[in-house]
């Protein structure tokens, strides 16, 4: 199979070329400008391929037929199975004429060359920018319906796509990636672009403010973000399917983020102040026009431009902060079904993006003092470690077990149900991990004793203990007067069961001079969440023990980490159907917090909103109590808590929706 690729040494191009060359007998002809052949030489060395499989074709996107020599044209006739056009200019500071010439005329000449050499298929890598500033959801079948195209990049991407649709004489396919960021595993990126423009701002916030101070973000715009490895994998897979000619594919994530969410996610990786509270952009529309004009008049444009320059943000980016378009990717999803190629959640790889930017792309990296040694990776922390996780067959526990198994740990999965244990073991083996299942009800202290005895007989030690198994009860105190057993059973599992494991495993940890205990607590311990008195009290007891024990054992090499989890969408909250309509984090995001604990070994991991709640309870207890009481009255006890059958509400009230978004992650 022979391929011709323009933009082969570009960011997406070099990842695509690597995928293509993995195919048996594949040969890639890559367009390179005179004097840039060294880039292809570097690619060959990195990919370990011979020159006959990655062949340079000297040319220039600005020339007729791309400046490819007559001899090369003749040699390529009838040889190219797939012609990929990736080369384009994307630079917010580039002038309109340059963008028109390269993006539009370059595409025209690329099409002519593809036809000249009788390529069998033409693959045009466009962009979601071709949709312009469309209000609403733009589908893969839409093109003429594009919104405003009042920016050179939007305009030229739209018009270059139009050329392919209208003038191509060979079968074509169009691909529209959304905002492409670095590799999801390595963070590799070649320039500051898209969300990266926010990195310097967040770094400065990190430098000047403690990370527990919560900030306010703005719910504005739609940012659809995908890592480059997904784009390359999807291009390679879809291009080789029989069906798809004459169609467009959106290489986009299933969901978009607003500006405040993107900033908050990046801040989490940077250990910078988070933005748990976000204001809807539409609130500013309610401000009278004369007030907005007055504020604008009092803010000199020179001052704004200077501030953005100091943050390495191009002023032309402002217009995209309220980007209005969402994207339907049904066709691409169908084409990728069963391939295993999917977009990971931004939260799962943002740490890799931040680390790569800080080490390679930050313009001030040489001037910044590195006060700390670089953190080890998760595999470096987890490899050859024996990690016990309770409640490991669903939700947070299962997601953590899979991540740690991939990282090289031997994972001891502990749960009550044999079938679920076997299912979890099978999934871990599928990802090449090493694990062993132990059946145990952690609320049964005798069973815990037997568990530890068996584990020590099998492995001799446990290096990391994750006390994840827990039970939550959502019920008001006034409805608990006759239910004292609620408090007994939460204490039995959440406190006594976890404590028993710690006490039995701790002697071996002390003897070896190393051990790490991670206790999964709740944001409710910090915010004193109403309706969770039984659950919060049991978690608070474990928190208090942990603080005392950590003070005693700091010199013995024993680490304790408490994670005050926000609301996570797990089977534990499933009985409360109201939670189907309120913001939660995913089990994968929660598992990332556990992995972060293993890497950094902090004393506590909590959201900014949780820490703010704790601070407010200390500084303004009456005000905070009033806020929590308001939330208590807005929400109600579930039918299940009252002994009835719970039904999923079709929707929640406007007040409930507003309150749950304002206090995202807090249990109500």
Rounded distance, CA 640 to CA 643, Å? Answer: 5
Contact criterion met (CB below 8 Å) for 29 and 76? yes
Instruction: Copy the structure tokens of residue 190.
Output: 């070649």
Closest CA to 91 of 36, 156, 150: 156
Rounded distance, CA 491 to CA 488, Å? Answer: 5
Instruction: Copy the structure tokens of residue 423.
Output: 């299912």
Contact criterion met (CB below 8 Å) for 29 and 3? yes
Rounded distance, CA 274 to CA 611, Å? Answer: 11
Closest CA to 181 of 15, 317, 26, 297: 15
Rounded distance, CA 265 to CA 357, Å? Answer: 15
- What does the angle CA 251 – CA 162 – CA 164 come to, to the nearest 5 degrees? 75
Span between the terminal Cα atoms of the chain, in Å: 59
List the catalytic residue out of 90, 327, 535, 579: 535
Rounded distance, CA 558 to CA 561, Å? Answer: 10
Closest CA to 170 of 4, 332, 378: 4
Residue 151 neighbours by CB under 8 Å, 6+ apart: 316, 319
Rounded distance, CA 321 to CA 311, Å? Answer: 16
Rg of the chain, C-alpha, whole Å: 28
Indicate if 535 belongs to the active site.
Answer: yes
Task: Give catalytic residue positions.
Answer: 535
């Amino acid at each position: 199979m022979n391929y011709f690729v323009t933009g082969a040494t570009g960011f997406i191009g070099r990842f695509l070329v690597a995928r293509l060359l993995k195919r048996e007998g594949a040969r890639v002809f890559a367009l390179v400008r005179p004097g840039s052949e060294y880039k292809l030489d570097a690619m060959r060395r990195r990919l370990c391929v011979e020159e006959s499989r990655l062949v340079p074709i000297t040319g220039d996107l600005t020339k007729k037929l791309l400046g490819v020599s007559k001899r090369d044209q003749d040699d390529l006739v009838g040889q190219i199975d797939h012609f990929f056009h990736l080369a384009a200019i994307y630079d917010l500071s580039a002038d309109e004429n340059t963008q028109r010439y390269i993006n539009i005329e370059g595409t025209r000449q690329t099409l002519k060359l593809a036809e000249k050499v009788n390529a069998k298929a033409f693959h045009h890598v466009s962009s979601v920018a071709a949709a312009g500033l469309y209000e609403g959801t733009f589908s893969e079948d839409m093109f003429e319906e594009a919104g405003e195209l009042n920016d050179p990049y939007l305009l030229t991407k739209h018009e270059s796509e139009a050329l392919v649709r209208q003038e191509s004489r060979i079968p074509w396919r169009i691909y529209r990636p959304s905002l492409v960021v670095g590799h999801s595993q390595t963070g590799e990126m070649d320039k500051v672009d898209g969300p990266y423009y926010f990195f310097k701002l967040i770094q400065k916030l990190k430098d000047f403010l403690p990370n527990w101070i919560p900030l306010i973000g703005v719910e504005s715009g739609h940012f659809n973000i995908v890592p480059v490895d997904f784009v390359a994998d999807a291009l390679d897979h879809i291009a080789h399917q029989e069906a798809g000619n004459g169609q467009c594919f959106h290489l986009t994530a299933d969901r978009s983020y607003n500006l405040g969410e993107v900033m908050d996610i990046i801040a989490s990786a940077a250990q910078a102040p988070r933005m748990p509270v976000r204001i809807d952009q539409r609130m500013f529309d309610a401000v009278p026009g004369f007030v907005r004009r007055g504020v604008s008049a009092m803010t000199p444009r020179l001052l704004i431009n200077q501030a953005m320059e100091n943050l390495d943000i191009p002023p032309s980016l402002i217009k995209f902060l309220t980007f209005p378009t969402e994207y339907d990717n049904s066709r691409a999803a169908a084409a990728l079904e069963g391939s295993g190629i999917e977009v990971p959640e931004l939260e799962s790889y943002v740490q890799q993006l931040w680390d790569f930017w800080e080490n390679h792309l930050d313009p001030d990296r040489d001037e910044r003092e590195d006060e700390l040694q670089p953190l080890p990776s998760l595999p470096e922390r987890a490899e050859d470690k024996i990690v016990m996780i309770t409640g490991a067959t669903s939700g947070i526990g299962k997601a953590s077990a899979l991540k740690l198994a991939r990282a090289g740990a031997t994972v001891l999965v502990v749960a009550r149900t044999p079938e679920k244990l076997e299912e979890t073991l099978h999934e871990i083996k599928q990802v090449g991990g090493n694990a062993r299942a132990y059946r145990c009800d952690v609320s049964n202290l005798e069973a815990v004793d037997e568990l530890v005895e068996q584990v020590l007989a099998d492995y001799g030690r446990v290096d990391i203990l994750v006390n994840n198994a827990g039970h939550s009860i959502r019920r008001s105190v006034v409805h608990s007067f006759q239910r004292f057993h609620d408090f007994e059973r939460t204490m039995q599992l959440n406190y006594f069961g976890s404590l028993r494991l710690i006490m039995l495993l701790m002697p071996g940890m002390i003897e070896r001079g190393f051990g790490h205990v991670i206790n999964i607590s709740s944001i409710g311990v910090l915010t004193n969440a109403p309706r969770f008195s039984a659950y919060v009290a049991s978690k608070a007891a474990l928190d208090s023990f942990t603080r005392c024990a950590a003070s005693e054992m700091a010199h013995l090499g024993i680490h304790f980490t408490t994670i005050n989890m926000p609301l996570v969408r797990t089977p534990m909250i499933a009985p409360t159907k109201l939670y189907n309509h309120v913001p939660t984090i995913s089990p994968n995001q929660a598992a990332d917090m556990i992995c972060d604990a293993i890497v950094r070994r902090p004393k506590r991991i909590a959201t900014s909103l949780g820490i703010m709640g704790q601070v407010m309870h200390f500084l303004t207890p009456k005000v905070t109590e009033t806020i929590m009481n308001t939330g208590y009255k807005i929400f109600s006890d579930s039918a299940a808590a009252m002994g009835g059958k719970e039904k999923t509400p079709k929707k929640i009230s406007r007040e409930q929706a507003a309150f749950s978004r304002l206090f995202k992650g807090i249990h109500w």
